[in-house]
């Protein structure tokens, strides 16, 4: 009975991580998601300030000071990076990371852009465009969507989601970055409060080397890495109706030997390479794309779901299964 109870608790944690809640938690500290789009509605705006007052040591006084100020400095708006034809892939990725960093990490306790992982890629790219227009601070999952958008015009760069679950002081923490692969080397783009938990230059020979680099960074903060979840390569077609496959492989790092982990990551790398040769489903017509609209503006019509490959825990073969039609908001809580 104890084993069953523990298993059900872990399963429920996974479901909450995938589906999301109005009030999400990062190591016990709650934060909210703005579900009303932009500009932020009055109810969400006031809730954000109430939340700041609760979690900040001088939150109430700080809120009054900021909201009552008339001479706040103007915040510069970062420019989306542009490149010369001679700009190399590593240089382009560094420019994208610099842009993501300039947007700054969102410390308000309210995520400004709602990211639902079950949405088709074209809808998520609409959100990414909105991020570049609004230039608001972002969190790690938003940075992944933005990174996909900014690398869509780089056919020589393959992108895949790479998420982590770590444990520290009785709490679990979730974080996600965008893994990249080009020229036989791996790297990563992302956003974090920790400098060594986001960008990784394109210099890691294997996926194992990249994962070990992140694991070493976690150890530096006394975190124990528990799970690594890796998705498939993401389509470069910004109008694709595919859903991103976020969790093709789920690896229990603390239960695998180093050699077992290496073999699992090698297998996943082969799986990703095999996907490159598979044709993507057709993109919607121009009229269809226009009728879909921005996911942040109108929520009138439901978006058609497509079946996707069920995630594969470490050591098991993946199986095909029809996903539930329930809309999921799998915000990966950040470190």
CATH assignment of the domain containing 137: 3.10.620
Annotated catalytic residue, options 192, 240, 249, 283? 192
Q: Do 194 and 264 share a domain, yes or no? A: yes
Domain that holds residue 35: 27-67
Give the rounded percent of residues in the chain with a pLDDT score beyond 90. 62
Last residue of a domain, one of 257, 276, 295: 276
Whether 196 and 117 share a structural domain: yes
- Check residue 62 and give its pLDDT: 87
Q: For residue 91, is it within any domain?
A: yes
Residue 280 confidence class, pLDDT cut points 50, 70, 90 = low
Q: How confident is the model at residue 326 (pLDDT cuts 50, 70, 90)?
A: very low
Is there a single domain that holds both residue 57 and residue 145?
no
**Catalytic site residue 192?**
yes
Asked whether residue 288 is domain-assigned, the answer is: no
The number of folded domains in the chain is 2
Q: Are the C-beta atoms of residues 81 and 98 closer than 8 Å to each other?
A: yes
Which residues are paired to 174 by β-bridges?
A: 165
- The pTM assigned to this predicted structure is 0.77
**Residue 11: pLDDT over 80:** no
Look at residues 35, 67, 99 and tell me which one is the last residue of a structural domain.
67
- Which CA distances in Å does 319 have to 16, 50, 268, 280? 23, 45, 15, 19
pLDDT for residue 303: 41
Residue 316 in any domain: the answer is no
Task: Kindly state the tokens that stand for 16.
Answer: 């909450």
Q: Are residues 33 and 113 in the same domain?
A: no
The 10s digit of each residue's pLDDT in 58-83 is 888 888 888 889 888 888 899 999 99
Residues 241 and 180 both lie in one domain: yes
Q: Is 140 a catalytic residue?
A: yes
Q: Are residues 59 and 206 in the same domain?
A: no
Task: For 36-64, write each residue's pLDDT tens digit.
Answer: 999 999 999 999 999 988 888 888 888 88
Say what the pLDDT of residue 279 is.
Answer: 56
Whether 73 is covered by a domain: the verdict is no
**What per-residue confidence (pLDDT) applies to 313?**
56
**Active site residue: 174, 175, 181, 236, which one?**
175
Peptide bond into 39 cis (omega under 30): yes
Phi, psi at 180, each rounded to 5°: -130, 150
Q: Mark whether 33 and 115 lie in a shared domain.
A: no
Mean pLDDT of 331-335: 46
Are 33 and 149 contained in the same domain? no
Check whether residue 47 and residue 131 sit in a common domain. no
Higher pLDDT, 240 or 24: 240
Question: Is residue 248 a contact partner of residue 230, using CB atoms and an 8 Å limit?
Answer: yes
How many C-beta neighbours within 10 Å does residue 153 have?
Answer: 11
3-class secondary structure, 2: helix
Residue with tokens 């100020």: 69
Nearest CA to 96 out of 202, 196, 184 is that of: 202
Does the pLDDT value for residue 227 go beyond 90?
Answer: yes
pLDDT tens-digit profile of 15-35? 334 433 334 555 556 689 999
247: pLDDT confidence band, cut at 50, 70 and 90? Answer: very high
**Interatomic CA distance for residues 78 and 57, integer angstroms:** 30
- CA–CA gap between residue 192 and residue 176 (Å, rounded): 9
The answer as to whether 75 is a domain residue is no
Report the b/e string of 175-204 with b at 16+ CB within 10 A.
bbbbbbbbeebbbbbbbbeeeebbbbebeb
**Residue linked to tokens 């842009």:** 99
Asked whether residue 44 falls in the same domain as residue 180, the answer is no
**Is 309's pLDDT higher than 70?**
no
Q: According to DSSP H, which parts of the chain are helical?
A: 2-19, 42-55, 59-68, 89-103, 121-134, 140-151, 207-220, 258-276, 286-292
φ/ψ region of 129 (left if φ > 0, alpha if ψ in -120 to 50, else beta) reads alpha
pLDDT band at 306 (very low <50, low <70, confident <90, very high): very low
Cα–Cα dist 122/130, whole Å: 13
Residue 165 within any structural domain of the chain: yes
Domain boundary pick from 276, 300, 320: 276
Rounded CA separation 242/308 (Å): 9
Residues in a beta bridge with 230? 162, 249
pLDDT for residue 26: 59
For residue 29, what pLDDT is reported?
60
293 has pLDDT over 50: no
Say yes or no to pLDDT of 312 above 90. Answer: no
Lowest average pLDDT, out of 71-80, 141-150, 215-224, 260-269, goes to 71-80
Clarify whether residues 177 and 259 are in a common domain.
yes
Q: CA distances (Å), 210 to each of 46, 140, 194, 195, in order? A: 41, 18, 17, 15
Phi, psi of 206, deg, nearest 5: -130, 165
Predicted pLDDT of residue 323? 45
For residue 165, the model assigns a pLDDT of 95
Q: Are 115 and 260 within one domain?
A: yes
């Amino acid at each position: 009975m104890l084993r069953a109870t523990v298993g059900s608790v872990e399963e429920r944690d996974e479901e909450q991580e995938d589906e999301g809640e109005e009030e999400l938690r990062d190591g016990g500290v709650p934060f909210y998601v703005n579900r009303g789009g932009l500009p932020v509605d009055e109810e969400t705006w006031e809730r954000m300030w109430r939340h700041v007052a609760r979690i900040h040591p001088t939150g109430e006084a700080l809120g009054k000071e900021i909201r009552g100020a008339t001479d706040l400095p103007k915040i510069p708006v970062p420019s989306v990076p542009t490149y010369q034809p001679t700009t190399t892939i590593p240089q382009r990725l560094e420019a994208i990371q610099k842009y993501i960093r300039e947007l700054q990490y969102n410390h308000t306790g309210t995520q400004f852009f709602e990211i639902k992982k079950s949405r088709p890629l074209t809808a998520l790219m609409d959100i990414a465009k909105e991020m570049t227009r609004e230039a608001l601070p972002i969190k790690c999952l938003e940075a992944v969507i933005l990174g996909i958008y900014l690398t869509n015009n780089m056919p020589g760069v393959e992108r895949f989601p790479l998420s982590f679950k770590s444990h520290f002081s009785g709490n679990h923490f979730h974080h996600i970055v965008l893994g990249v692969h080009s020229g036989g080397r791996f790297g990563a783009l992302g956003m974090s409060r920790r400098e060594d938990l986001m960008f990784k230059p394109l210099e890691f020979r294997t996926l194992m080397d990249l994962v070990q680099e992140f694991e070493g960074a976690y150890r530096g903060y006394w975190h124990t890495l528990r799970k690594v979840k890796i998705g498939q390569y993401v389509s470069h077609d910004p109008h694709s109706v595919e859903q991103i496959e976020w969790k093709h492989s789920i690896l229990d790092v603390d239960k695998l030997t180093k050699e077992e982990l290496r073999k699992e990551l090698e297998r996943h790398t082969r799986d990703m390479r095999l996907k490159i040769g598979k044709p993507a489903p057709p993109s919607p017509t121009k009229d269809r794309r226009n009728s879909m609209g921005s996911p942040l503006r109108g929520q009138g019509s439901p978006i058609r779901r497509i079946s996707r490959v069920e995630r594969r825990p470490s050591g098991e073969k993946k199986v095909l299964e029809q996903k539930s039609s329930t809309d999921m908001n799998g915000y990966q809580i950040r470190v």
